[in-house]
């Protein structure tokens, strides 16, 4: 057998890691003889996925679009707030402590409040996804804008550039790599937000599925839900990672 | 006191120099304090004539960049008045082009698009750019060709060497035909050979168009080789300690830098700066 090139190794590595994890998982469960209703193995989980693909699929779809809507709101708000916060040192100083304080609140604490306001279901899930995901976007966009070289600003200002000109010509394009980098993080956080809310305040979605399956001791189905949610998050992460490297390729070539 | 110093130290300057046009930049008793830490620049009186090439030398932190900001209207003086072209400066002066030690090119734009950036900002070009795009492109291309970057118009900044980036940066500063070119240590980060090459590029551009140039530099040879007038500034708070006219014939050649007259001038200036650094301002 020919030794693999470094390149091929790099490509295979993540898949190899997944396979090793699955093998170890199944192996440990079998060796210790853990009962299925406590900690199901890979095979049991896969069986559950296949047998219940329809309800799992429906709940997954619910979680997916809820997450995407929450994420999109997060992007809009994050971008807007990021521009406001990053546009002047004064705003930066004024807003940053508030944002950090807000970010430190566990978002699950908001769910009961949201349920009082909006009832259980999709709306609190969307809002929780939004609340949890906009922070990294704000921070990154603001950082991108705030780290603009003062010389660059002088070059433009002396020509009579208005704030908006500087923002559109230099500030925003310059902060795009920061922005796209934050989207990767934000989309995975949005999934966390949705599932957390569904777990306590919904009768739809993967979070709800896991909660109700868990209460009936159907652990393989709970794990099927876990796998589904992480696969969705991983795929979306890859989508945004791909966008990042293709839209702002110039940032990685220096 | 400053004026006395100037009168004592300046080289014989009786004959009005041929190059000097009408007064263009006038500083009258100008001081600037950014905050309550005292003046960054103090009691500046000087006149730069149209088409003159002046250089500022002085220890770092003495207020050279501050002087630039005052000249271009990016910052107002705390005391005194700054006039450019007879008008009191109250805001940013669009007739200015600026270049700095780091080229500050935008990495997502090609060299050509970087050079054309000011045209998207400054009037009247901004209005005309859409309609007359081709004409403006041609103009930018010609400018790039004169600095030897014709073949790199479609390259991105990261594909250019430091010297080439600096050429592009100077083109960007000149694309809107400014009357005043402000250069803040533009060659400070380049190796000696590239730097001397760019002296040539800059003096050619200047000979061809005779805009007014204010050059800030740490390099005394650079100042003496390029400038008509050298101002020596004191340590903070920055004052003008000396004004020195440089009368070498133009166009100048690098050979000039090896002549005794040139080295004497450098030596002399070197002594002055050394005295400032040791705190002996007189
Ligand atoms: N925006 C600013 N706010 C406060 N102090 C400043 C500012 N810019 C420069 N200074 C201070 O003014 C002095 C002169 O700075 P500068 O003009 O940049 O010096 P140079 O360009 O000669 O190195 C320095 O002491 C510097 O710390
Ligand atoms: Mg400086």
Assess contact for B46 and B27: CB atoms under 8 A.
yes
Q: How many angstroms separate the Cα of B192 from the Cα of each of B163, B205, B255, B257? A: 11, 20, 15, 13
Neighbours of B11 (CB within 10 A): 13
Q: Is the pLDDT of residue B237 over 90?
A: no
Question: Quick check: is A28 in a domain?
Answer: no
Question: Quick check: is A253 in a domain?
Answer: no
pLDDT computed for residue A254 by the predictor: 54
Of the two residues B1 and A129, the one the predictor is more confident about is A129
Question: Quick check: is A30 in a domain?
Answer: no
pTM for this prediction: 0.81
Question: Using one digit for the tens of pLDDT, what is the confidence trace for A28-42?
Answer: 999 999 898 889 999
Lowest mean pLDDT among A2-11, A59-68, A98-107: A2-11
Q: Which domains does chain B have, with CATH numbers?
A: 3-277 (3.40.50.300)
Residue B63 Cβ contacting ligand 1 at under 6 Å: yes
Q: What is the DSSP string of A84-136?
A: HHHH-HHHHHHHHHHHHHHHHS-GGGHHHHHHHHH-SSHHHHHHHHHHHHHHH
Q: For residues B197 and B167, what is the distance between their CA atoms, to the nearest angstrom? A: 10
pLDDT computed for residue A1 by the predictor: 64
- Which residue of A lies nearest to B160 if distances are taken between CA atoms? A254
Question: Quick check: is A48 in a domain?
Answer: no
- Which residue of A lies nearest to B175 if distances are taken between CA atoms? A159
Question: Using one digit for the tens of pLDDT, what is the confidence trace for A204-233?
Answer: 999 999 999 999 999 999 999 999 999 999
Question: Quick check: is A2 in a domain?
Answer: no
pLDDT computed for residue B8 by the predictor: 38
Binary contact (A151, B100; C-beta < 8 A): yes
Number of domains in chain A: 1
Question: Using one digit for the tens of pLDDT, what is the confidence trace for B34-85?
Answer: 988 888 899 999 999 999 999 999 888 889 999 999 999 999 999 999 999 8
Residue B213 Cβ contacting ligand 1 at under 6 Å: no
Q: Is the pLDDT of residue B13 over 60?
A: no
CATH number of the domain where residue A171 is located: 1.10.3720.10
The answer for A 171-190 residues in CB contact with B (under 8 A) is 173-174
Question: Quick check: is A94 in a domain?
Answer: yes
Over range B148-165, report the average pLDDT.
90
Question: Using one digit for the tens of pLDDT, what is the confidence trace for B201-231?
Answer: 899 889 888 999 999 998 899 999 999 999 9
What is the domain extent for residue A113?
60-248
Residue B39 Cβ contacting ligand 1 at under 6 Å: no
Question: Quick check: is A172 in a domain?
Answer: yes
Question: Using one digit for the tens of pLDDT, what is the confidence trace for A155-179?
Answer: 888 888 888 899 999 999 999 999 9
pLDDT computed for residue A253 by the predictor: 65
Question: Quick check: is A236 in a domain?
Answer: yes
Helices (H), A105-218: 110-118, 122-146, 150-157, 163-166, 172-201, 205-215
Atom in ligand 1 nearest the alpha carbon of residue B41: 14
The answer for A 149-168 residues in CB contact with B (under 8 A) is 149, 151-152, 154-161, 165
């Amino acid at each position: 057998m020919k030794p693999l090139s470094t390149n091929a190794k790099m490509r295979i590595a993540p898949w190899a890691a997944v396979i090793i994890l699955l093998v170890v998982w199944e192996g440990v469960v079998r060796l210790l003889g853990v009962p299925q209703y406590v900690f199901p193995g890979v095979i049991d989980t896969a069986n559950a996925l296949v047998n219940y693909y329809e309800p799992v699929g429906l709940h997954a779809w619910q979680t997916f679009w809820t997450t995407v809507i929450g994420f999109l709101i997060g992007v809009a708000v994050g971008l807007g707030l990021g521009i406001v916060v990053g546009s002047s040192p004064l705003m930066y100083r004024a807003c940053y402590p508030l944002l950090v304080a807000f970010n430190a609140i566990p978002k699950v604490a908001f769910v009961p409040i949201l349920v009082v306001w909006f009832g259980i279901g999709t709306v609190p899930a969307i809002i929780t996804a939004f609340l949890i995901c906009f922070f990294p976007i704000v921070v990154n966009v603001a950082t991108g804008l705030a780290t603009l070289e003062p010389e660059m600003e002088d070059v433009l200002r002396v020509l009579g550039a208005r704030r908006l000109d500087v923002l559109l010509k230099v500030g925003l394009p310059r902060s795009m790599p920061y922005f796209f980098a934050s989207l990767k993080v934000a989309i995975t956080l949005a999934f966390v937000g949705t599932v957390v809310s569904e777990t306590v305040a919904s009768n739809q979605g993967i979070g709800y599925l896991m909660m109700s399956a868990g209460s009936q001791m159907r652990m393989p189905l709970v794990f099927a839900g876990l796998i589904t949610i992480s696969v969705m998050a991983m795929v979306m992460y890859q989508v945004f990672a791909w966008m990042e490297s293709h839209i702002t390729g110039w940032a990685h070539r220096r | 006191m400053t004026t006395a110093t100037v009168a004592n130290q300046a080289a014989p300057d009786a004959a009005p120099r041929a190059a000097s046009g009408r007064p263009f930049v006038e500083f009258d008793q100008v001081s600037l304090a950014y905050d309550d830490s005292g003046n960054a620049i103090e009691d500046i009186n000087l006149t730069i004539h149209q088409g003159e090439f002046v250089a500022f030398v002085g220890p770092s932190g003495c207020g050279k960049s501050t002087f630039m900001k005052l000249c271009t209207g990016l910052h107002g003086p705390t005391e005194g008045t700054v006039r450019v072209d007879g008008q009191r400066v109250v805001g940013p002066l669009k007739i200015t082009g600026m270049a700095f030690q780091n080229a500050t090119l935008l990495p997502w734009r090609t060299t050509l698009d970087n050079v054309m950036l000011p045209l998207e900002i400054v009037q009247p070009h901004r209005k005309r750019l859409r309609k007359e795009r081709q004409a403006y492109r041609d103009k930018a291309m010609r400018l790039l060709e004169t600095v030897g970057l014709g073949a790199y118009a479609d390259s991105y900044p990261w594909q250019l060497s430091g010297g080439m980036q600096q050429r592009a940066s100077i083109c960007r500063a000149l694309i809107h035909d400014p009357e005043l070119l402000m250069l803040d240590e533009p060659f400070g980060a380049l190796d000696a050979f590239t730097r001397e090459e760019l002296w040539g590029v800059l003096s050619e551009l200047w000979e061809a168009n005779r805009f007014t140039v204010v050059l800030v530099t740490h390099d005394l040879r650079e100042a003496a080789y390029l400038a008509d007038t050298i101002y020596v500034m004191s340590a903070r708070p920055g004052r003008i300690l000396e004004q020195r006219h440089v009368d070498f014939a133009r166009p100048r050649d690098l050979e000039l830098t090896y002549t005794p007259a040139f080295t004497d001038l450098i030596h002399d200036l070197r002594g002055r700066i050394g005295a400032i650094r040791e705190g002996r301002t007189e």
